[in-house]
Amino acid sequence: MSNLEIGLTSFPLLLVLIFLRIPIGLAMFLVGLGGLYFLTGNPNIALAKLKTETYSTFSSYSLSIVPMFLLMGHFATLGGMSQALFKAAESFLGHRRGGVAMAAVGACAGFGAICGSSLATAATMSQVALPELRRYGYSGGFSTATLAAGGTLGILIPPSVILVIYAILTEQNIAKLFLAAFVPGILAAVGYMITISIYVRLHPDAAGVREPIPMAQRFKALADVWPVLLVFTAVVGGIYLGIFTPTEGAAVGAAGTGLIALANGGLNKVTLIESFMATARSTAMIFFIVLGAGFYNGFLALSQVPQELSNYVVGLGYSPWIILAIILSLYLIFGCVMDSLSMILLTIPIFFPIIASLDFGLTMEETAIWFGIIVLIVVEVGLITPPVGMNLFVINSMDRLTPMVETYKAVMYFVASDVIRVILLIAFPGITLFLLRLLH
């Protein structure tokens, strides 16, 4: 077999291992290590890469941003920020039809601004919002679907762990990617609220009604959100004013949320250790997937698969928009069987060279950033797409009384909202690049 054939054979082999329930990080590591041996015929080369790849991955300064953002999310929960966000949103929206569900989405968007993880956002906001949704008579499937969809805002609204990984893989500026994600993130939250409004009109029994809250109480609840605004402004403002790098900003955010949690009484010796341990477990999982992807992608590069595939696709003569549509369709399919991080690490080294070689009427940097945001949104759709949407399982584990099939039915409305948003961002790249062009 030629090197190219070995590289192409590795992909179905990897999928078989994933379907056999082998952790995807381990599956990519094994296939990459074995592939290097088959390509070179020398086990010493594969073992040498085991040493160099492991060191270069785990000593990466850029990746240190990941545990900082994860820790920031844990401290934010301990500091009561999730509850404050939900109460503020509920006080202004709760009396409307479907308003408590809209408040949950708004709170998820706010929490996503201080937590870079979708699963963490979904799990945290579910603890806060699910009891309230039950209290006001919202149906189980509608409630869980709303929180699963709202949780995806955790990786879209900056800071985002997935965007950090994408920036490292494509050698793009993290701060510019964060900036480009703002408008699509706001568009996502508004789209979900519109979806909720449509859903409760089509299914009137799915949502109860709550009495309006006096205006004085509304502003009091709004005032309680100041710690979130303070941390977000300090982190994002510091990055864009050039006071510190994104990695330093993540450390500032973690320290800030930690101090707020300490002041609010949520942080003590026990919860501090629990936060460190939870952050360490999540970071270890992410880093091992990154290591496995590094081995697999190194093997693919040596086999020339990305380069040959890029040349082949460009040589077909199809419109760049058709090729983009095919790639995004593949992401939707992968989303049914993979988590978001695995999809990014596995596919970007293959798909990005193809996109980079096509002409969308944008500069190279704009194309990379625009494609990154679109991929992020499509990956986000995968988190709520049956049958293996990760957010759906997280929410379902917190509400055992609701059958999964009910969540599946309701979440398809939110998937439709995501598809419409993707079409808008593809048709009008300026929506994504607006702030980037304005400030640069």
| Residue 219 belongs to a domain | yes
Tens place of pLDDT per residue across the chain (440 aa): 777 788 888 888 887 887 787 887 888 888 888 888 888 877 787 788 888 878 887 787 778 888 888 888 888 888 888 788 888 888 888 778 888 889 899 888 888 887 777 777 887 888 888 888 888 888 888 998 999 898 888 888 877 888 888 988 888 888 889 889 989 999 999 999 999 999 999 998 887 777 778 888 878 887 888 888 888 888 878 887 778 888 888 888 889 889 988 888 888 889 999 989 988 888 888 888 888 888 888 888 888 877 777 777 777 778 889 989 888 888 877 776 677 777 888 888 888 888 988 888 888 999 999 999 999 898 888 878 876 677 787 777 777 778 888 888 899 999 999 999 999 999 999 999 988 888 76
- Tally Cβ neighbours within 10 Å of residue 292: 26
| Residue 131 belongs to a domain | yes
| Residue 274 belongs to a domain | no
Kindly state whether residues 170 and 223 are assigned to the same domain: yes
Measure the CA–CA gap between 266 and 274, rounded to whole angstroms. 12
Kindly state whether residues 200 and 243 are assigned to the same domain: yes
Kindly state whether residues 41 and 116 are assigned to the same domain: no
pTM: 0.84
Of 303, 330, 354, which marks where a domain is finished? 303
Kindly state whether residues 144 and 293 are assigned to the same domain: no
Kindly state whether residues 31 and 42 are assigned to the same domain: yes
**pLDDT of res. 348:** 87
* Count: domains in the chain: 2
Kindly state whether residues 98 and 217 are assigned to the same domain: yes
Kindly state whether residues 111 and 178 are assigned to the same domain: yes
Return the H-helix or E-strand segment holding 267.
none
Kindly state whether residues 55 and 193 are assigned to the same domain: no
Kindly state whether residues 228 and 318 are assigned to the same domain: yes
| Residue 281 belongs to a domain | no
Kindly state whether residues 3 and 122 are assigned to the same domain: no
Buried b (16+ CB within 10 A) or exposed e, 425-438: bbeebebbbebbee
| Residue 272 belongs to a domain | no
| Residue 36 belongs to a domain | yes
Q: Hey, which bits of 234-316 come out as E strands?
A: none
**pLDDT of res. 440:** 65
**pLDDT of res. 196:** 93
| Residue 278 belongs to a domain | no
| Residue 94 belongs to a domain | yes
Domain carrying residue 360: 60-267+304-439
